A and B are shown apart, each in its own frame.
With several copies, the nearest count.
Chain A
Amino acid sequence: MFKRVLIANRGEIAVRIIRACREMGIESVAVFSDVDRKALHVRKADYAYHIGPATASESYLNVDKILDVARRSQAEAIHPGYGFLSENARFAQACADHGFKFIGPSPESMEMMGSKTRARQNMKRAGVPFVPGSERGLDIDAAERLAEQIGYPIMLKAAAGGGGKGMRLVQSPGELHSAYENARSEAQRSFGDNEVYLEKYIINPRHVEMQIFGDEHGNIVYLGERECSVQRRHQKVMEESPSPVVDEGMRRRMGEIAVRVAKAANYHNAGTIEFLVDEQRNFYFLEMNTRLQVEHPVTELVTGLDLVHLQMRVAAGEKLPFKQENIRLRGHAIECRVYAEDPDNNFFPSPGQITRLISPSGPGIRRDSGMYEGWNVPIEYDPLLAKLVGYGEDRDQAIDRLLRALYEYFVGGIKTNISLFRRILKDPDFRAGNLDTGFLDRLLAKPSNETDPRRPIVAAIGAAIFASMEPKATLPGANGATARNGNAAPRPTSNWRRTARAEAMRER
């Protein structure tokens, strides 16, 4: 096993990998940018090196700096986490070239899966089912002909894309031209590559993905699926395993196809095959993620395995310690991605200092967090603060435990989307497992009405007692005015101004 591993990442995933290292007796090397000197992953690692300014391209995305730290710290291997350099085949190659083991698939597998059109061609040959569409980037005339042939609505997608960038839904022939141009230029801006392809648009699809794992000796297994249909703007918000729509037969078929995909790419280490599932439970290959996923904990809870431990072991050349038939799924797990954003205000990002943090624990609750009380959430990186995962004997118990844990969770000083999860988990469609990728947008369009008529009075009483407990209020001559000052914050805002601003925001 490796003696020392560098983690080329930050936030909760860096903490999660550092923990795995400590559990395995591996020394961990953290890297940090200027604004991350006090980040939790730096506090928890055995070694920590500064790698540059806040801007990711000059720090977490800078291959030379990371390889330099790997050299200086005498790390033997590099774990890329997710995001940043994790799906960068050139980085994986550079690691190999400099004698560091990249903890993930080979550069060749990554390369093959990195271009959606190339992946598609390879997979078609392996007999993997696809949404009808083009197999490669096409010009506007070809797009027009193909769209006519498979029928509208269709979806335009960037070949190099991801995260919803460079995607356009086209409902009818009249919209095709301008959508094509927009998708092309957005693809160019976002990925430096304007290749665009076309697919039939599946109405109300589910997003279901299959976790696979391969060693370097040709063994590949599937570890069950994850339902990831709860998305906002094509970004996952909640994930669960198993999927409410997948039964044993469908899991086996999907798993076997996923293994076939991985084998076609000569894949090893952790990977995920994403599928679209239509209303008739047909599933179509979407893409492969050649890294550990954000949502890997739900699979860990349901399989009882530790995927990061497995990554290390497989990268160190070990064989998978089990066979397909040894995998035993049990219970149900659901993950909430806690973001620093304001669900009551258009999901505006909400960086800043966490002044108070009360975290849930107890039965069936796993929490993977990158934050702590007093920490300043920087403005430069993505807003994922923590993942709260509920496990239960069945889906209902997992939901109930999550609701309990969310009730206990309190993040003060910044806004988070914790209240959004309560809404989702209480929604009848969610509870019934009636999900598709449009579910969350529909939910958000409905008015929210959680009220207890007695509570505002309790809030008023609480505010008054807090105010009267302030040191200033107990000074001689203290009265309502002093109490108010005691309670007021550095820059008081009148109620009117607050309302005005809230309205201004709502208009956007």
Chain B
Amino acid sequence: MTYDIVVDGKTHQLELTRGEKTWLCKVDGQEIEVDAALTARDVMSVLIGGKAYEIKRERSLQGELHMVIGSARYAVDVQDPRSLRTRRAVGGSEAGPQKVKAPMPGKIVRILVSERDEVKAGQGIIVMEAMKMQNEMKSPKDGRVQKILTAEGSVVNAGDTLAIIE
């Protein structure tokens, strides 16, 4: 099987072949023999040339995939090379409308702008509260408030779009 795997923004080409007891991995052209064993849910023990790694997989509610090794944490994206171009294109660019999303579940305590307002990049748009802390969600760019999709007092989930800046 072949994967393109993005680790902390850097793409690695990976070819994986299952051997009798181990896996053969070709990583960016280099061959590595890997003894991998799933020990508990989302916890894999990996031995590479005697070196032992415990790799924990974590998928967040927002769909992010992380690999945690010891105390280091890596943002990982597993991609099929053929569909990569399409996916990249979907992302949109700075030029188009951008969403202000809730980075955490919480309660909307104040909305600082109105629809059609002109805003600067970094300007406060919405104030959220969670766990007794208030945090300001800011505009990602200079532009205009196209839409506000929440109301004061609402409870929102992480990843919910709160406003769109065009």
Contacts and interface: CB of A to CB of B under 8 A. Distances in A.
B115 interface: no
Interface in A466-506: 466-469, 473, 479-481, 483-484, 487-501, 504-505
A167 B69 CA distance: 41
A72 interface: yes
B39 A422 contact: no
A460 B7 contact: yes
Nearest to A339: B131
Question: Which of B10, B81, B91 has the most CB atoms of chain A within a 10 A radius of its CB?
Answer: B91
B114 interface: no
Interface in A408-431: 410, 412-413, 418-419, 422
Nearest to B12: A460
A44 B47 CA distance: 12
A356 B25 contact: no
A461 interface: yes
A42 interface: yes
B154 to A, nearest CB: 12
Given A48-B47, A356-B42, A493-B64, A456 B34 contact: no
B151 to A, nearest CB: 17
A462 B69 CA distance: 10
A352 B105 contact: yes
Contacts of A356: 41-43, 56, 58
Nearest to B159: A491
B21 to A, nearest CB: 9
Contact of A484 (B9, B16, B23, B79): B79
B63 A461 contact: no
B50 A465 contact: no
Nearest to A347: B133
B103 A455 contact: no
B55 A459 contact: yes
Interface in B23-53: 23, 25, 27, 32, 34, 36-48, 50-53
Interface in B81-106: 81-83, 87-88, 90-92, 98, 101, 103-106
A345 B62 CA distance: 15
Given A349-B104, A418-B71, A461-B14, A480 B2 contact: yes
A461 B105 contact: no
A474 B70 CA distance: 29
B166 interface: no
B78 interface: yes
Interface string A362-388: 000000000011110001111100000
A413 B58 contact: yes
Interface in A209-243: none
Interface in A373-408: 373-375, 379-383, 406-407
A489 B158 CA distance: 14
Contacts of A505: 103
B104 A350 contact: yes
B122 interface: yes
A68 to B, nearest CB: 12
Given A495-B6, A508-B136, 5 more contacts: A44-B54, A450-B71, A463-B5, A497-B91, A499-B9
9 contacts: A351-B105, A358-B43, A458-B48, A460-B7, A465-B44, A465-B46, A483-B3, A484-B78, A484-B80
- Minimum-distance CB pairs A-B, first 4: A480-B80, A462-B55, A489-B63, A496-B91
